[in-house]
Amino acid sequence: MTAQPLPDPTARVREAARERGLEIEIRESPPASSLEEAAALRGIAPSDIVKTLVVKGKGDQYYFALVPGDRAISWGKLRTAVGVNKLRLPEADLALAATGYERGTIVPVGSSTDWPVYADERIRGARVSMGAGAHGHALYVDADALLAAYDATVADITDPIDGIRGDLPRE
């Protein structure tokens, strides 16, 4: 049986945010061919686009990793933060089954399962943009409010990506 996205994902995101007292904004988001282009279209720094990655642990255990757009998961740092020896990115169908969202749209808000959230420390203090559950949409949220609403573990879990500048000043 192939996993299918759950119906009306942006409505699910809005409802889950409301239930947690989390103020969000969902906007239409045109396609972009690069992180820099996506950031320019959204009027934010590349580091303020946050990727939500689903990470698979042992058995049926999954985790969300919130990663600034200009950075990549450091597997060693993330394993240390989670306290496990093995983690990996699951296949797209497993990520969909674990969250109800397709890759490129994944967000902890409204996920079909509340997996533990691990966030890179660099997103604190920012208003960030991330997946909104559906292609062509982006969610905007205060990162600190998101971290509190999901009782996220905040740690250094990333490394820089060569050639990507995410250090543009925040307004």
pLDDT per residue as tens, the chain (171 positions): 456 655 689 999 999 999 999 999 999 999 999 999 999 999 999 999 999 999 999 999 999 999 999 999 999 999 999 999 999 999 999 999 999 999 999 999 999 999 999 999 999 999 999 999 999 999 999 999 999 999 999 999 999 997 665 554 444
Per residue in 9-27, pLDDT tens? 999 999 999 999 999 999 9
**Residue 20: which residues within 8 A CB-CB, separation 6 or more?**
109, 149, 150
Q: Are 158 and 122 in contact (CB under 8 A)?
A: yes
CATH number listed for the domain at residues 9-160: 3.90.960.10
Pairing mode of beta strands 62-68, 50-56 = antiparallel
Tokens 């169908």 belong to 93
Q: Which helix (H) or strand (E) holds 83?
A: none
Amino acid making up residue 50 = V
